[in-house]
Structure 1
């Protein structure tokens, strides 16, 4: 019997699912998810990603079985699995969403495309986000995003299903070579959890969004916390946009939640804006967006600095507290993420790629298109963004003035007097002895002099930025990647596109 194959990837839902709906209109449907060992062996994969995925797959299977179907779980490389399924029972068409993933998934999709052509099979790919394949420039990009978001959300289809085995068998992380610890306080996967999180945000927590997303104290509840559910496709971006706008339509004009939800919608737009950069420049995961910055940090790699950063031993309390929180939760708000990358890129002078790979493992909501664009923007290698340097001492005073966050995540500092909390290395030795916290023994001493190292790093960056050939290459990057919305706002001042975007990760 001829049938259609729906290949689920990072789109783990039945609601607002275009490939599933279109496949259902053209005959029987088999739903498949492929666990690909090569992707899970990649440097940016982590145990928490797989466990969140596994929870989401089980939730998806339940949703499919309620409708008479089910999810077939296959283990192997995508081309090998598709080829085996086709030889066992040839399918007539392959349906899936487009994916803007890492370099490995990009190469995988190219291989699947070649396989489909060699077998004379049609592969229908649908846009899941406001990302445009083979985009030449950004002139009409915003209009495309708005048009896609304005389309109605798709109801789950009624299908002539091909039966799947019951229940699906999913391997343990260790079988895929994943050995990282699972953060004990991470979010749980699945659409049902995503819907609950969305409702909680729209009807309650969004009131704190506008003023609460920068502080690590308030951000865990002020932020929407939807980012992992969007990254794994448990929720569609369009249904989140629709739900948010519906709530805006019914809220009174003086309701504080309106301010938060309006700001939130703008960040959903920037979500796709940054993903488009990786779609248009897949090498962004490995190479500088502006090649004039090649060689800026590569030759100066300092393994001791990297080890101190990843182990939370930089000596700057807010930075180390953020790393401790990441280890426990798999999440951190945008400003603190940006601060970590800034500290790594400037005073520690570390290249963004290894730091980005480590953070990709740490972030449960790792979305390659957003992640690598942000890594380069914060590191100053895009060529079109202003330099963003976050002073970890100032950030602590601004966003954790009483030291509650630092003391919570770094118990050793609970004995340090408040006036020394953010610079404990300045404590007199006698006071260190009195409170039982010896710098260099109980807590780390800063690796470098923050002010001096930052000043030297900025000078090195500006030296490259000032070169004539680097300036000349900037226009082409703006044409390909720059936000037209900002060019309209700032054309008179000739500010490079992208300079004002700071908070797109605060979901």
Structure 2
């Protein structure tokens, strides 16, 4: 009998050993594509069983600045990635939980031969997670292949732009033609409520996924972006020509290199055809891409301890509760300032708003209303489908007077309204209750005579609110409180103030001549492939 028991135990051990499939894990994060994916190529080169893994992390989705709209966009992006993997013979392996705990269970159950991923490290939480994964892999003896992208000193004297462009010019990494079948079971798809995310109603939200990203990029480069970045455009004109790629870039459905090379190819063709207007627009677009990437890189080199990812507010603004009527009015687009309210309602309904209007909203809450910055910043973050913590909070700290390197941004909401929406089209679209007002009263309805208001059935304070504050006096007081005397020490994110980013300021013609002579046709070619 003892011999039989020993034989049984040995057979069980052999069964366990045979069941250890030695997985090569490709851990997807904010890189939800199969094209131009260094970590996926690395995993494929390792051979053997490949597991395309995505981990839903409760700690992230339970933050105060995440939302259902962001979650749904991420799930759509993942579903598109899953379809691409299935076309190649594999599929996504879904898990939920703390990353190192998920990896530990997979290793215990199946054995992990190698782990491949793109590092993030742009916020304290991301950097700590990367560190924990490295430590775990070292402890259990698993080879780790971490792909970091551009690693170049970002200082006032560094030629970061040259390094970035060199990286952008490298040939894109081809998607694998085929992948081995997934050898382990996947968990089911979670839903937003699993993480406590409430429905936030975003009827006109963009749809996620590489397929939609490529369609949007094609539209932009085929003529939609002809006036992109042009000065003095109205809000509606800016909306009509915006690339709308920020959310897709945030999720990594397309890589920056793919977008840059596509834009450069289109720009070269436009220069050849003599279309300077469109070529200049694409030049502005590629510089904006560089600025975006630089901000991400710079944010990885600052040190933050505050869980809100904002520097400590040294101006002692009172943090507002959710019940604060000022915060409620601002959140619901009922401040009494038409451009502010239209901007907030647009963001509520679409999840998208141009950056200058986002800045105006945040500035009004933290400067004119003098609310503590954390809660308004979180509310605004929840509404943005393209929310990327490092970039978002890096910009926010500039706007609200928490950076010594740049003054706070305190725009006049009425002056901005007259300048950015002169015909009132944007305001009338989002604030129908005052849409019938003549242009001369639309931007500041409290200045309209009672006869003009009553003629259109408008009662200020009932059909549309009175202004929350005297905006001129509030701005003056905010500037006094935020004077340099009150901000005497350097704060995080000061390295990404509004100042030149080292991008060459050559003319479009000279710039394009240099690029056309320096790039090979292969490097500039781009077929705008979807996930297939």
CA–CA distance in structure 2, aligned partners of residues 253 and 446 of structure 1: 50
1:277 deviates by: 3.0
- Higher mean displacement: 197-206 or 341-350: 341-350
Corresponding residue for residue 353 of structure 2: 332
Q: Which has the larger radius of gyration?
A: 2
Corresponding residue for residue 155 of structure 1: 174
Picking from 219, 230, 246, the partner of 1:200 is 219
Q: Deviations over 1:54-95 (max 9, x none)?
A: 111111011111112211111222111111111111112111
1:161 deviates by: 2.3
Picking from 20, 23, 27, the partner of 2:47 is 27
Secondary structure at the aligned position of 2:54 is classed as strand
Structure 1 residues 25 and 82, CA, compared in 2 at 3 Å: closer, same or farther? same
- Higher mean displacement: 38-47 or 161-170: 161-170
CA–CA distance in structure 2, aligned partners of residues 213 and 100 of structure 1: 37
CA–CA distance in structure 1, aligned partners of residues 309 and 103 of structure 2: 35
- Higher mean displacement: 52-61 or 117-126: 117-126
| TM-score, L = length of structure 2 | 0.84
Secondary structure at the aligned position of 2:227 is classed as helix
Corresponding residue for residue 291 of structure 2: 270
1:171 deviates by: 1.6
Is 2:507 the partner of 1:485? no
Corresponding residue for residue 37 of structure 2: 17
Contact 1:4–1:91 (CA under 8 A) maintained in structure 2: yes
Picking from 63, 68, 75, the partner of 1:47 is 68
CA–CA distance in structure 2, aligned partners of residues 103 and 44 of structure 1: 15
Structure 1 residues 6 and 385, CA, compared in 2 at 3 Å: closer, same or farther? same
Corresponding residue for residue 366 of structure 1: 387
Contact 1:131–1:275 (CA under 8 A) maintained in structure 2: no
Contact 1:286–1:353 (CA under 8 A) maintained in structure 2: no
Picking from 422, 447, 454, the partner of 1:401 is 422
Structure 1 residues 82 and 254, CA, compared in 2 at 3 Å: closer, same or farther? same
Is 2:25 the partner of 1:5? yes
Structure 1 residues 105 and 385, CA, compared in 2 at 3 Å: closer, same or farther? same
Structure 1 residues 234 and 112, CA, compared in 2 at 3 Å: closer, same or farther? same
Picking from 322, 331, 334, the partner of 1:310 is 331
Corresponding residue for residue 467 of structure 2: 446
Structure 1 residues 136 and 406, CA, compared in 2 at 3 Å: closer, same or farther? closer
RMSD: 2.9
Structure 1 residues 487 and 337, CA, compared in 2 at 3 Å: closer, same or farther? same
Q: Deviations over 1:414-436 (max 9, x none)?
A: 23232211111122334433321
Secondary structure at the aligned position of 2:229 is classed as helix
- Give the aligned length: 481
Structure 1: runs of 5 or more not aligned: 490-507
Structure 2: runs of 5 or more not aligned: 1-20, 507-532
Secondary structure at the aligned position of 2:228 is classed as helix
1:214 deviates by: 5.1
Is 2:244 the partner of 1:225? yes
